[in-house]
Amino acid sequence: EADIYQTPRYLVIGTGKKITLECSQTMGHDKMYWYQQDPGMELHLIHYSYGVNSTEKGDLSSESTVSRIRTEHFPLTLESARPSHTSQYLCASVGYSRSYNEQFFGPGTRLTVL
């Protein structure tokens, strides 16, 4: 069973609010990722981190920011939410064992911006 957690699971907020989506994992993985999932269910990588104090932007441009101060924690922040940010956000981590990469996902945060 995956040990990766996201909070909140659902969030409805007004335009202009600052929000932080939390993600944590207890597997000791260095590499963590944030995806935005579009209505057609395709996954788009928006941020990733290869370890503490390492963060990079992903393939899809996003107005969000991330930080990685501790190995287990990878929060995503929106400084000023807009309706276009309404989406499902998935956090993931990757470990390497038995000669292949294994990726684990959190349950997701469903964000609605009014």
Partner 1 sequence: GDSVTQMEGPVTLSEEAFLTINCTYTATGYPSLFWYVQYPGEGLQLLLKATKADDKGSNKGFEATYRKETTSFHLEKGSVQVSDSAVYFCALSPNQAGTALIFGKGTTLSVSS
Provide the binding-site residues for partner 1, judged by CB under 8 A.
Answer: 2, 6, 30-31, 33, 40-43, 45, 48, 50, 90, 92, 94-96, 98-103, 105-108, 110
Q: How far is the CB of 16 from partner 1 (least distance, A)?
A: 27
Cis-peptide into 83, omega within 30 deg = no
For residue 102, give both structure tokens. Answer: 């294994």
Residue length, the chain? 114
Residue with smaller CB distance to partner 1, 13 or 43 = 43
Cis-peptide into 8, omega within 30 deg = yes
Q: How far is the CB of 15 from partner 1 (least distance, A)?
A: 24
